Amino acid sequence: MGQDPEGQGVRGDDDQRPRVRARARKKVRDALDLSATSSRLASDIEQDSRQKLDTMGKIDKGDPLDKAYIDIQVDVHATWLSALDNKMIPFAQTDELRDELEEVRKIVESHYNLAVEMRTNLKTADK
């Protein structure tokens, strides 16, 4: 049973999980950079994300923290995908903006898929 490099108490494959978690953290940071826009939607999503991450401070380290973190990331990325699909891309007023939003959507979707995969791996490791 291993520990991740930051001492979060990750159990499972000592080689795989810390590497996957580090990749996920980078992808999450990339996705949250989208909130740098000044739109109300981005502000609302960012606030919701920060509230969820703040709740993690109240969770014991180890598996419960890992699960909460991944669940939050799945939820945040799903929220961004919904916003892109339903509020941003359909209302883009220029082809250039629409193309850029579609590229952003691909990135967010890849981050979402990684978070879902990580959640599945955490559940599998518990068995």
- Per mean pLDDT, which range of 10-14, 41-45, 78-82, 97-101 is the poorest? 10-14
Unique residue bearing structure tokens 């999503």: 45
pLDDT at 69: 86
Mean pLDDT confidence for 59-81: 87
Burial of residue 76 (number of CB atoms within 10 Å: 0-12, 13-18, 19+):
buried
Give residue 106's pLDDT. Answer: 96
Q: What integer pLDDT is reported at residue 56 of this predicted model?
A: 77
Give which of 44, 25, 116, 57 is closest to 83, Cα–Cα: 44
State pLDDT tens for residues 20-37.
Answer: 667 666 666 655 554 444
| Region label for 13, one of left (φ > 0), alpha (ψ between -120 and 50) or beta (otherwise) | beta
Mean pLDDT over the full length of the chain: 77
Question: Model's pTM, two decimal places?
Answer: 0.63
Sign of the CA dihedral with 77 first, then 126, 26, and 48 last? positive
